[in-house]
Copies of this chain bind each other. A is one copy, B any other.
Amino acid sequence: MDGLITLWHDTGIYHFEWKQLVMMAVGALLLFLAIVKKFEPLLLLPIGFGAILANIPNAGFTDPGGILYYIYEIGIGSTVFPLLIFMGVGAMTDFGALIANPKMLFLGAAAQFGIFATLFGAIALNLIPGFEFTLQDASAIAIIGGADGPTAIFLASKLAPDLLGAIAVAAYSYMALVPLIQPPIMRALTSEKERAIQMEQLRPVSKAEKILFPLLVLFACILFLPSATPLVGMFCLGNLMRESGVVDRLSGAAQNEIINTVTIFLGLAVGSKLSAEAFLSVETLGILALGAVAFSVGTGSGVMMAKVMSRLSGGKVNPLLGAAGVSAVPMAARVVNKVGLESNPQNFLLMHAMGPNVAGVLGSAVAAGVLLALVG
């Protein structure tokens, strides 16, 4: 019965270190949030499961030859997975509301202040002993404020791969928490009267405008910000496939089989970066704290910008719309709609909030491009 002793020496029980147990508990917590609380389950379920698998002693999931090793290296090390997700998101995005009211782009711009303020905050955290964030680390952390998962994973994989697990978890968790984080900030910064403002109906948008939009965005990006073209280019490819109407097979593949398959693997790969060494550090606490700051500041700056636009337009813009500028599509737009209905039961802001909402996606891709160009 030497075999039984060999097996025993091989068991998890024999090899466990407390750190791995803690990381498995973190994985289980993510599964709980995904399944019971329905927090971004499409990502947090595979991330949580990946975190559990990656921390099994003696199983070798993340060693060369293990399945999570291959998935991470092929999919995230190459940045291919977040770009494919972005292509799929592009194919699922309707820019109609934004094209009808392009000034909403300013809200998507303003909300990115959450990113840059957090960057400053992350560097300021270095004043506290124990934190030693480089500019690269700080930039990768700050992009949590973009409220856009694939952008955060893309930038983190380029600038701070060691922090990728914590950054992705923070980004998706706070995106799920948008209905809790945003309303108090929105109410604090606006008056009852402002929140009750009704918007004019959006004009119809022609098919040609919708087809030209992704091409013009890409063109502007090529001219002025080439470092953002991987993200923006794949996003625009997806959107062009959608709007052109001539490649429905491909658009369908991007929206369904490709994005679904990649989501499973992306989640597992992110989870595989939730190793005890990388995650159980004071830096993770800092990242979680900074992420909350990022979302809050982004919401606030979006709302403030919307207040300015409301004044300038003579009260035709509901300041709540600014909160949708952080992206977190379509959650933030729904929150805007809900808070708006509280003040005025006739006030249906959902369509209007889709404009700043998708503008926020472009805004954070642009911010990521700026960060890549300047600190990458």
Q: Which residues of A are in contact with B by a Cβ distance under 8 Å?
A: 3, 6-7, 10-13, 15, 24, 28, 31, 34-35, 38, 41-42, 45-46, 49, 52-53, 56-59, 61, 65-67, 70, 78-80, 83, 211, 215, 218, 222-227, 229-230, 233-234, 237, 240-241, 244, 246-247, 249-250, 252-254, 256-258, 260-261, 263-264, 268, 370, 373-374
Number of identical protomers:
3
Closest B residue to A374 by beta carbon equals B3
Told that A6-B373, A237-B268 touch, could you supply 19 new A-B pairs with CB distance under 8 A? A7-B225, A7-B373, A24-B222, A28-B215, A31-B240, A34-B244, A42-B250, A45-B241, A45-B244, A45-B247, A45-B250, A56-B229, A59-B227, A61-B229, A249-B256, A253-B257, A253-B260, A253-B263, A253-B264
Question: Which residues of the other chain, B, contact A260 by a CB distance below 8 angstroms?
Answer: 249-250, 252-253, 257
The 6 closest A-B pairs by CB, nearest first: A253-B260, A41-B246, A257-B257, A58-B226, A59-B226, A59-B229
Contact B240 A49 (CB under 8 A): yes
Please report the C-alpha to C-alpha distance between residue A234 and residue B67 in the assembled complex, in whole angstroms: 10
Please report the C-alpha to C-alpha distance between residue A313 and residue B27 in the assembled complex, in whole angstroms: 40
Main secondary structure of the interface of A (DSSP, over half): helix
What are 24 A-B contacts with C-beta separation under 8 Å? Answer: A6-B374, A10-B227, A11-B224, A11-B226, A12-B222, A31-B215, A41-B246, A41-B247, A42-B250, A52-B233, A56-B229, A58-B226, A58-B227, A59-B222, A61-B233, A65-B78, A66-B230, A67-B80, A67-B83, A67-B230, A70-B78, A253-B261, A257-B260, A258-B261
